[in-house]
Structure 1
């Protein structure tokens, strides 16, 4: 998780100085920041996350949710539109570290939805902090992100300190598994979540192992899982590797071993890797509201806009973008003013009451259990 290009942050000073000028009096049609009533105009919100690569489906879910919020805002404010600018991190800390300096140097950007994943958030947080650019992640769940002292950091969902214990609770109370094997993908997110689950499961953990991003042959770990006598497998990581692991475990005769995974596997791309039959019955946990339960017309609006149903963190991203849009509507045209607006925000969103504590965390940390059935993801219940 090395930080790169931090030297380029020196150039941010000039960008911030430009942004701090706020709304000018009489902009033109070239996109300059101007004022329209009390609203700030000509401003941009950024999205940072995977748009290509192995985890692109998760990133696109999120960027689409933010895009819907921006599009609906622009429909109501045609004279004072906001731009959503997307920066592709490919879901990798190294890539994110090369694109984030471009984000902070764009003086029109006053807020960021993202970064999407925990590793890239850890790698780029110091850059955002140096630039004073507020971020609201809709999906990065590693608890340690809130412990860095970053004033710019906000998270619109519960972290893995909530998800991990609830996943363990589901394994013990609902699956009643007495022998559990735990595997992680060595990522900031996957290892962090798996470590919490292992701690909460305690003596029922009969073994653990680590795989790597991009790994395709899981024969060695499959052998260990089967020989352990485990009836359940918890996986901390993303859907690409999880799908292949599930497929190979089933092919090796481990079809009776139930797979439970975190939110990084909550995408139908998991089925592409595992196959519909092998994926059947897999449980995933997520600190996210089932999008069909979002109030109002969000679900249908998303389907109409993107010809697909909203999925993991689409609704949370909609809420994150809405916080920044509300700030722009309130005339916040500088990063400093937007940061203060976000810190004081207290409003009902479509997923929860959005209000951040001093560390940037929200109070509502609900965790849901979902199940793969017939190739689709079905909400089971909120784990309590």
Structure 2
């Protein structure tokens, strides 16, 4: 391992110093850095999201952040190691319930980072709630997820009720677009976000359309966009469809600005869309690398690349659970620990409201320039 993770000392040392793995039942009175009962030390956290399939990159970026947090924790607790259990959903909601049951049945798993996508969260979170297994999603942004009364649900970033208005504001105030078109991919995430943008843009919207995931021919949509005279197109969905969509639009001569959200913030979008991706605006409630330079340096030392979409949020989500383990919390007591958590992370102040929503929310704009996704600042 190439990184010594020196950055973690000022960021999370105080949290980790709460204690080492506690004894079973949350009693930390006799626990030390290498102490605690074997039962309490032999614990796991889960990573739930797409690690293979068309949206795997988004899950892998999160997983990298989780692994970085685990490395840091396990260095400090060499005789009380925490392991990672991966639940590869491929971003498919139909697989989510079975994976959730698998995690629930493994009594060593005391918390889940994820689910990563909104659709799989909707399918899996009722089961996690019933079992009392805490989930902290670093990336699922559909606002309705927090409205189900799930006591185990926490979200380490802003939801689309924040991102949607920010995207609409950018379209109106920065791009000065007067004829926006809105499109979605009919997914829980994509449609939910696009509907918020539609509402905020109001009567200015000159056209709407819906495509399907795994669709490859967008000729009908291209015709609609061009016929509308749109000077901007907001697309709610993921990168596998966004890339051929904008490529076909550019090939047809459309000159407007393509605006997308966090589901497209991935290098694969640029790799597949090629030069058609240039100028695309991407909104995301995720922090740029320069917001947490020490974390970015440690991430690059370990993985050979800059942190990507939700890597920092994955690190922070895992750190909260690991701090709970350090404080002697088990599955049964982790919910209350997370509910009262209030510490500075690498992305923001980590604190939750009564519904499990992040109490510190920011949305950033990014732009594709010269084949790279670069930050253009926070959308105020």
Give the TM-score, by structure 1 length.
Answer: 0.89
In the TM superposition, residue 307 of structure 1 has moved relative to its aligned partner by 1.8
Note the C-alpha offset of 1:127: 0.6
Are 2:219 and 2:248, in contact at CA under 8 Å, matched by a contact in 1?
A: yes
Assess if the C-alpha contact under 8 Å between 2:134 and 2:152 holds in 1: yes
What is the aligned residue count?
353
How big is the alpha-carbon RMSD for the aligned residues of Structure 1 and Structure 2? 1.8
1:56-135 correspondence to structure 2 within 5 Å: 56-135=56-135
Contact 1:23 1:35 in 2 (8 A): no
Partner of 2:160: 160
Aligned to 2:335: 339
Q: Gaps spanning 5+ residues in structure 1: where?
A: 1-19, 25-33
Tell me the SS of whatever aligns to 2:206: strand
Residue equivalent to 2:259 = 260
TM-score by length of 2: 0.90
1: CA distance, partners of 2:90 / 2:257: 30
Instruction: Establish whether residue 315 from structure 1 lines up as the match of residue 321 from structure 2.
Output: no
1:340 is displaced (CA, Å) by: 1.0
Aligned-partner SS, 1:177: coil
1:219 counterpart = 2:219: yes
Does 2:141 match 1:144? no
CA distance in structure 1 between the aligned counterparts of 2:350 and 2:239, rounded to whole angstroms: 29
1:171 partner SS: helix
Residues 113 and 137 of structure 2 are in contact (CA less than 8 Å); yes or no, is this contact kept in structure 1? yes
Partner of 1:363: 359
Q: Is the 8 A contact 1:41 1:80 kept in 2?
A: yes
CA deviation after TM superposition for structure 1 residue 365, in Å: 1.3
Contact 2:351/2:360 (<8 A) preserved: no
CA distance in 2, matches of 1:23, 1:162: 37
Tell me which residue corresponds to 1:383.
379
1:181-200 matches, within 5 Å, as 181-200=181-200
Give runs of aligned pairs for residues 202-241 of structure 1, distance below 5 A: 202-241=202-241
- Residues 237-296 of structure 1, C-alpha deviations (whole Å, 9 max, x = no match): 001100110100001111x11100111011111012211x1100000000111123215x
- TM-aligned CA deviation for residue 37 of structure 1: 4.6
CA 1:373/1:336 → structure 2, altered by over 3 Å: closer, same or farther? Answer: same
Which 4+ runs in 1 deviate beyond 6 A? none
In the other structure, the counterpart of 1:249 is 249
What's the offset of the Cα at 1:22? 4.3
> Mind listing any 5+ residue stretches in structure 2 that lack a counterpart?
1-22, 28-32
CA distance in 2, matches of 1:310, 1:21: 35
